[in-house]
Homo-oligomer: A and B are copies of this chain.
C-alpha cells in the first residue's frame, strides 16, 4: 500500500495556460516523498543531522491531464527498486475526489554523506538500509 499526500493547487502553481505548470509537479514529488519518510519515522532533517542525504539523481514525469487551480490532488508515492547505493520512488498524482490521473513519474536517489559523496548504505548503515527495504516491501502490497 502506497503513501498518499494530499494538497491543494495554489494560484502560484498555475501558468497562463490556466493549469498547473509542469515543473511544479517535480516539487510535489519531493513534498510527497518527504512526508512519506516523516510518516514512517524518518524526518529528512534527522537524516541530515546523521551526515546522510538522498540527492535526486534523476527524475521523469508524464503529464497526462492538467490539474487546475483550487483542485485537491492526491500524490501517491511508493519506494521502488533499491540498490546498494541508490533507490527509486514512484509517483502517481490524481484528483483526490475523482481519481482522475494527472501525472505519473519516478525519481532516483543516491545514498550520500553530507558532502554528496556516495555511501554503500547496505554496508555502512544496515539499519537505515533495512528501513528502506521495509518500506519497499510494504508498498508492494
Interface residues of A (CB under 8 A from B): 8, 10-12, 14-19, 21-24, 26-27, 30-31, 34-35, 38, 43-45, 53, 55-63, 66, 69-70, 116
Contacts and interface: CB of A to CB of B under 8 A. Distances in A.
A139 B7 CA distance: 26
Nearest to A20: B16
Report whether over half of chain A's contact residues are helix, strand or loop; otherwise say mixed: mixed
A107 to B, nearest CB: 9
Nearest to A112: B17
A7 B14 CA distance: 19
A69 B116 CA distance: 17
Contacts of A10: 27, 30-31, 34
Choose among A22, A31, A34, A57 the residue with the greatest number of B CB atoms under 10 Å from its CB.
A22
Contacts of A69: 16, 44-45
B18 A12 contact: no
A132 to B, nearest CB: 18
A75 to B, nearest CB: 13
A26 B63 CA distance: 13
A63 B70 contact: no
Contacts of A15: 11-12, 14-16
A18 B53 CA distance: 13
